[in-house]
Amino acid sequence: MLFSSRPARQLALAAGLLGFATLTACNKGDGEFAKTKSGIEYKIYKKEGGKYVFKSVANGIDPTFKSRIGKFLTGHLSYRTGKDSVLEDTRKKIGAPVPLPLMELKQMGGPEEAFSLLQPGDSGVFRFSADSLFKGPGRPVPGYLKKAGNVVVMTLATDKLVEEKEAQAMQQDLQQKMMAKQQQEMMSYAAEQLKKDDVVLQDYIKKNNLTVKKTPSGMYYQILKAGTGTNAKPGQKVSVNYTGTLLSGKEFDSSAKAGKPFEFPLGQGQVIPGWDEGIALLNKGSRAILLIPSTLAYGQRGAGADIPADSPLRFEVELVDVK
């Protein structure tokens, strides 16, 4: 399932924000938060005539909740710190209502209890003590929550009740949308970063008087020594001597450290994309310089302490053998 029913894991939802400003406006004049026996502070609203109006829940218990157990309540969900910093936000991150499980309440004081107070169409603001969400050994309250008042504020604008089968279908659809959105964001980031890398690489080429060619992907290369035979092909095992440096000249790796050439099957994704592309440009005995943009190297992740994020790289390589 996309969403866990465990209270602490609710903070890790790949999620977002409901229209918080709308609910904040409703708060005015409604008095103090009500409080459940478990300590959750809450204000709940229902929609009447296109407007949200305050709704009371006697003793913090909705007697109709039992009829909803086993179903899913859909809605837009957000978590904030006591100082209003957004932690999770389904509206922004997913852009669609998410299904939330309505389960028998075996543990009080968490989001599940808050869900039980809401009926389809209701909206609510809930304040939890951070201590109630992070229970057990090895699960201390994060420092940023303590500094923000040791409180987590959840807002939820509900839509409708659905059965488990429909909820599962919604979850699958949401996962696909999230993956598509993440892929789109990655592609957009990569395109922008490639432009930045190209400026840096062209400056490096000019300063070092290199005579290079550029591939359609944005990599630059210079043949220092021509080899013989045909170029290495995808699927062939190649042996390569190499030295890898940052553009600053700092060496981060070399085959000399291992005392032998590095072997790998070409074009199988076992090395960075810039290597799969660059070595395929060479034939046996060739030596070359490869200038690889970060998008074809280690990208935003970087690699350990030696290669920072978004670092274009220089490799001097020799294709020793092709099998």
pLDDT at 28: 38
pLDDT at 29: 41
**Res. 22: pLDDT tops 50:** no
Read off the pLDDT of each residue in 3-22 and give the average, rounded to a whole number.
33
Dump pLDDT digits (tens) for 116-171.
999 999 999 999 999 888 877 778 889 999 899 999 999 999 999 999 999 999 98
Strand 86-89 vs strand 98-101: parallel, antiparallel, or unpaired? unpaired
Q: Are residues 220 and 200 in contact, defined by beta-carbon separation less than 8 angstroms?
A: no
Q: What is the third-level CATH fold of 7-162?
A: Chitinase A; domain 3 (3.10.50)
Q: What is the 3-state secondary structure (H, E, C) of the chain?
A: CCCCCCHHHHCCCCCECCCHHHHHHHHCCCCCCEECCCCCEEEEEEEECCEEEEECCHHHCCCCHHHHCCCEEEEEEEEEECCCCEEEEHHHHCCCCEEEECCCCCCCCCHHHHHHCCCCCCEEEEEEEHHHHCCCCCCCCCHHHHHCCCEEEEEEEEEEEECHHHHHHHHHHHHHHHHHHHHHHHHHHHHHHHHHHHHHHHHHHHHCCCCCEECCCCCEEEEEECCCCCECCCCCEEEEEEEEEECCCCEEEEHHHCCCCEEEECCCCCCCHHHHHHHCCCECCCEEEEEECHHHCCCCCCECCCECCCCCEEEEEEEEEEC
Read off the pLDDT of each residue in 88-115 and give the average, rounded to a whole number.
89
Longest CA–CA separation in the chain, Å? 86
Domain boundaries, the chain: 7-162, 194-322
pLDDT at 308: 95
**Res. 81: pLDDT tops 60:** yes
7-162 and 194-322 share one fold: yes
Token couple for 251: 């060496």
Of 3.40.1710.10, 3.10.50.40, 3.30.2420.10, 3.40.50.300, the CATH number of 194-322 is 3.10.50.40
- How does the average pLDDT of the chain come out, rounded? 86
One-letter identity of residue 54? F
Place of tokens 């929609």: 47
pTM of the model: 0.57
Residue 296: which of 274, 315, 265, 318 has the closest Cα? 274
Confidence of residue 240 (pLDDT cuts 50, 70, 90): very high
> Which residues fall within 8 angstroms of residue 73, CB to CB, at 6 or more apart?
99, 100, 102, 115, 118, 120, 158, 159, 160, 161
